[in-house]
Amino acid sequence: MKRISNLGRIDKPVLAAAVLAGLALVGPAAAQDISDSALRQMAVLLQEKDSRTPLQQKLSSSLVYAINASRGVAPAGILNFGAAASSLSGDAQSGVLVSIKASVSTDLVNAIQQAGGRVVYSSAALGAIRARVPLGSIEALAGRADVTSIKSALPPRHNGVSAADYLRPRLAQKGQGRAEPQKNRISRILRNIGLPFFIGATSTQGLVTHGANTVQAGGVRGNGIRVGVLSDSAEAIPLLIGTGDLPHDALNVADIIDGPGTSEGSAMMEIVYDLAPGVQLFFASAFNSPESFADNIRLLRNTYHCDIIVDDVSYSDEGVFQDGVIAQAVNDVTQSGALYFSSAANSGNITNGTASVWEGDFANGGTNALLPGYTLHSFGAQSFNRLLATTGVVDLSWSDPLGNSTNDYDLFILNSAGTAVVASSTTTQNGPGSDPFEEVFSASGFPANSRVVIAAKAGALPRALHVDLFFGERLQLVTAGQTHGHNASAGCVLTNSSCPGRAFGVAAVAWNSAKGFTKPFPGGALNPTEPFSSDGPRRLFYKADGTPITPGNLLFGTNGGVVLVKPDIAAADGVSTRTPGFSPFFGTSAAAPHAAGVAALVKSANPAATGAQIFNALTSTALDIRAPGVDRDAGYGIVMAPAAVNAILH
């Protein structure tokens, strides 16, 4: 895929030149840690933003930048413009991938096709279209009265971790008292995580570590339970049916559209089937668009009557402080009684020093005459955060309602010295159609020590902020609270105290973290969560419909909103599957189907049990790990099949 430049062309260089005239510093001194040259470049980009027409304000800034660039209008004073990258994904044949919010009709779909575009997915019910559209046709589409906004479509990720990525930080460590040759380190690490059990195995080690084998021996096998799995793709289903690793009736009911994928969904299905061999399994892709993901969640529940649904996918623009379109689908299926399991994600946690998130309230870092009309956010002693590793995606979210943000914040990446803008996201937030979200992307990654800067437009009210590195790299200034979006959904509990189903966020624990042979988890300090497993808690400020939970109180510092225990539980990863490329299978992507498999056993043991009863059976019997009691890393702890089944029966 070709990536289009992230830093925009300025349509009115004369206006920009006026901004670049040297002016004096005013306000608090915090702004002085960014050089005058960088402030001037930020001002150029913000001047362009403030000069956009109402039509251009419907577009994400990355689209505006790319359209201006295609016209050859150079930005005054912006360095390294040609080398900067954006979040646009496109190719010469079908154009850039965009998300269109609109009143979806046949006429609009035809207009996209007549403009040379291709509709990937459309949902009239959700008012959304994902399409590839030629760059030159985007403004004409935005001019239609039935189009609310057009934004660059942001790609999803699944939460599996390759063996190479799992081993990389461990290979960087020293041996005992001296540098250890890499060959020896590889052997030692693989020995410790149990590589001999990966070779030739067709059943997940989680079958034993979660005690599901003893439950199966007692006659509880998940019979009569339907389980739906969502990931990128599941091309290996026919292969696995042939080898006996999936049941003969396993179905792919909604495949990936722009595939192929990795077939991670097949590996997840294997895990569920190993733990609960009596279940019926269904797969649907979560990779086609957020709206397609949401529709497929409902498809699995409403058409295929899945009792349990599990996924391992995240989108970078999911709501942090409010349930977005995917989380709302989770709410719907739990309202109808389903149990929903989602991977907590692999973006790190503060306990292990791997955190990739900063949360806190906007703090006035001072105004500067070089940046008229805007105020910098102060991270404390400085007006920037710093990347500690090469990073591909940086996101900013704040506590405005989805689709109706009226407080305008912008995001900048500066070089390590703070002397030049490397990338920016300056989408307009002006009410209906505006999301409280900015994202910058670099295909080659922003270098370590790059600076992250936030600016608020004059008049913007202080809001709770969430700065997130989507792929889990490290930040200098960090907090807890990484897991978010539907991965941290409350299900229908927020809107219905007698919610029939339940939603679970699932953390990962290495199956062999106790460094023994395959045996049940002992719990306690022997079974910590994986260093990459995302932590909680999650704070929501809005109900799914945008109603404030605590009206007038939308900040962390004043304890606004509601705090959710997320993740809820933990389960095994690093296990064996037959799916090509997934032995071993690391990540919360592997943990979530283990938890779903245990839940299938529990539900089949007592089909009449309510969602609340199953939730209590799983959590009250979980093995406590990490901090004593319920904690931000593992929730209630590791779910164990024998104790949970016993609890649901008694």
- The CATH number of residue 225's host domain is 3.40.50.200
pLDDT at 80: 45
Identify the DSSP state of 429.
Answer: -
HSE, side-chain direction, 13 A CA sphere, residue 126:
22
pLDDT at 180: 41
Is there a domain that residue 139 lies in?
Answer: no
Strand 374-377 to 421-425 pairing: unpaired
On the question of pLDDT at 226 being above 50, the answer is yes
Is there a domain that residue 439 lies in?
Answer: no
Is there a domain that residue 113 lies in?
Answer: no
Counting the structural domains of the chain, the total is 1
Is there a domain that residue 621 lies in?
Answer: yes
Tokens 């575009």 locate to: 117
User: What letter represents residue 504's amino acid?
Assistant: F
At 358, is the pLDDT very low, low, confident or very high (cuts 50, 70, 90)? very high
Q: How is residue 5 written in tokens?
A: 């430049």
Q: Which stretch of DSSP H or E encloses residue 283?
A: strand 280-285
Q: CA 505 to CA 115: how far, in whole Å?
A: 42
Q: Which residues pair with 387 in a beta bridge?
A: 475
pLDDT at 202: 67
Is there a domain that residue 230 lies in?
Answer: yes
At 73, is the pLDDT very low, low, confident or very high (cuts 50, 70, 90)? confident
Residue 275 belongs to domain spanning? 163-349+482-649
- Provide DSSP, 209-259: HTTHHHHHHTT---TT-EEEEEES--TTHHHHHHHTSS-TT-EEEE--SS-
Percent of the chain with pLDDT over 90: 79
The pLDDT mean for the chain works out to: 88
Is there a domain that residue 567 lies in?
Answer: yes
pLDDT at 167: 60
Q: Extract long-range pairs of 187-192: CB within 8 Å, 24+ residues apart.
A: 192/512, 192/515
At 74, is the pLDDT very low, low, confident or very high (cuts 50, 70, 90)? low
Min mean pLDDT across 63-77, 240-254, 490-504 is at 63-77
Tell me the mean pLDDT in the region 265-293: 97
pLDDT at 169: 55
Is there a domain that residue 48 lies in?
Answer: no
Strand 538-540 to 562-564 pairing: antiparallel
Q: CA 448 to CA 450: how far, in whole Å?
A: 6
Select from 594, 580, 582 the least CA-distant residue to 511.
Answer: 594
Min mean pLDDT across 20-24, 44-48, 92-96, 556-560 is at 20-24
At 56, is the pLDDT very low, low, confident or very high (cuts 50, 70, 90)? very high
At 166, is the pLDDT very low, low, confident or very high (cuts 50, 70, 90)? low
pLDDT digits (tens, 9 = 90+) for 207-218: 999 999 999 999
**Residue 12: CB partners within 8 Å, gap ≥ 6?**
47, 48, 51
Tell me the mean pLDDT in the region 137-161: 92
Contact 538, 516 (CB under 8 A): no
Go through the chain and tell me how many residues it has: 650
Is there a domain that residue 364 lies in?
Answer: no
pLDDT digits (tens, 9 = 90+) for 512-523: 987 777 899 999
pLDDT at 418: 95
Tell me the mean pLDDT in the region 406-435: 95
Tell me the mean pLDDT in the region 14-20: 28
Q: How is residue 304 written in tokens?
A: 């295929």
Q: CA 372 to CA 151: how far, in whole Å?
A: 27
pLDDT at 194: 41
Min mean pLDDT across 276-285, 402-411, 492-501 is at 492-501
pLDDT digits (tens, 9 = 90+) for 292-331: 999 999 999 999 999 999 999 999 999 999 999 999 999 9
pLDDT digits (tens, 9 = 90+) for 111-134: 999 999 999 999 999 999 999 999
Start-to-end C-alpha separation, the chain: 56
Q: CA 599 to CA 307: how far, in whole Å?
A: 10
Min mean pLDDT across 8-12, 149-153, 439-443, 518-522 is at 8-12
Tell me the mean pLDDT in the region 275-294: 97
Min mean pLDDT across 16-25, 279-288, 493-502, 551-560 is at 16-25
Q: How is residue 174 written in tokens?
A: 């020293």
Tell me the mean pLDDT in the region 556-575: 97
On the question of pLDDT at 195 being above 60, the answer is no
pLDDT at 14: 26
Alpha carbon distances (Å) from 202 to 389, 485, 514: 37, 33, 22
pLDDT at 292: 98
Select from 584, 567, 506 the least CA-distant residue to 165.
Answer: 584
pLDDT at 219: 97
